[in-house]
């Protein structure tokens, strides 16, 4: 169901809702259709948002549509969690529950509807194919995200490299959530997956996925602001390069550090065009 529609840079930004089977609730997402989509299907770049966000943060604040219109890229921004289930404690903290799905499929029964991995990897692309197959080429896509969404983009992208994602990028990602010095990761992974089987956590850690990555190399771009309050206490993006260093994966990940930039959308807006041009190169 279409909720909103706004013309931008010759294309259209549209927000939709649909009934999600994997999250068992009404979910919303926003698509920017570039003007080229009127002539036929265009490549897709997914953007995964961070803690407390929904699909509108990127749409309203990042300023990505101008470059996407020029490059002929569709932008797809999903929400960050299921909503409306009324689970006890779902709104007690900003970093767990509503607005904090962490792009995992929860195995703890209480949180069984928190299945954002399946939603991003399977259900949302299927919804896009079924409804916009004449405008979106979902088989030609890349993925990007910020903070928790940067973690999501890295883990979803690495698990599905080239099937279908052609490239991956992230702003200020939670790079090593299984590490003891990442409180966000420890809380989310223990809460959604349980603390007894930490082996199950590795599939949701970009550093662990890079260490074991044996597929065809995939280009990964990470931008990090050096004035980010969470840099040393939560994010640890420098570990991505070390994790990819051994053997054939050396050089697969580029981490660019930017002096003076923080964790906000002011940072994202500054470099989002770089990311879209990076993805466009790999989506040709």
Active-site annotation, residues? 147, 228, 263
CA pair distance 284, 8, nearest whole angstrom: 23
Nearest to 224 by CA among 241, 201, 210: 241
Q: Which of left, alpha, beta for 270 (phi over 0: left; psi -120 to 50: alpha)?
A: alpha
- List the 42-48 sheet strands across, edge first: 2-8, 11-20, 25-33, 74-78, 42-48, 136-146, 165-171, 219-225, 253-258
Sign (positive or negative) of CA dihedral 165, 252, 264, 174: positive
- d(CA 283, CA 71) in angstroms, rounded, equals 10
Alpha-carbon gap, residue 190 to 106, rounded angstroms: 10
Cα 283–chain centre separation: 17
Phi, psi values for residue 7, rounded to 5°: -80, 135
Report which of 131, 134, 106 is spatially closest to residue 119, judged by C-alpha positions.
Answer: 106
């Amino acid at each position: 169901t279409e909720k909103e529609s706004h013309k931008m840079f010759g294309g259209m930004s549209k927000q939709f809702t649909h009934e999600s089977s994997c999250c068992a609730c009404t979910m919303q997402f926003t698509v920017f259709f570039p003007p080229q989509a009127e002539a036929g299907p265009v490549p897709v770049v997914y953007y995964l948002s961070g803690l407390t966000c929904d699909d509108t943060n990127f749409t309203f604040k990042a300023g990505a549509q101008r470059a996407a219109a020029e490059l002929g890229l569709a932008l797809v921004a999903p929400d960050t969690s299921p909503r409306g289930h009324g689970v006890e404690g779902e709104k007690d903290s900003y970093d767990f529950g509503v607005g904090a799905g962490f792009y995992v499929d929860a195995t703890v029964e209480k949180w069984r509807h928190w299945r954002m991995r399946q939603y991003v990897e399977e259900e949302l692309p299927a919804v896009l194919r079924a409804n916009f197959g004449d405008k979106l080429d979902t088989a030609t896509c890349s993925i990007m995200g910020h903070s928790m969404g940067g973690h999501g983009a890295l883990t979803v992208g690495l698990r599905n490299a080239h099937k279908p994602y052609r490239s991956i990028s992230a702003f200020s990602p939670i790079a090593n959530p299984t590490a003891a010095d990442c409180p966000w990761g420890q809380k989310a992974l223990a809460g959604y997956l349980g603390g007894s089987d930490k082996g199950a956590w590795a599939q949701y850690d970009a550093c662990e996925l890079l260490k074991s990555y044996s597929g065809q190399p995939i280009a990964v771009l990470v931008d990090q602001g050096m004035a980010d309050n969470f840099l040393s206490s939560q994010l640890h993006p420098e570990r991505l390069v070390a994790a990819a260093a051994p053997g054939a994966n050396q050089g697969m990940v580029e981490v660019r550090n930017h002096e003076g930039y923080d964790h906000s959308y002011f940072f994202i807006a500054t470099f989002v065009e770089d990311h879209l041009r990076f993805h466009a190169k790999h989506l040709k």
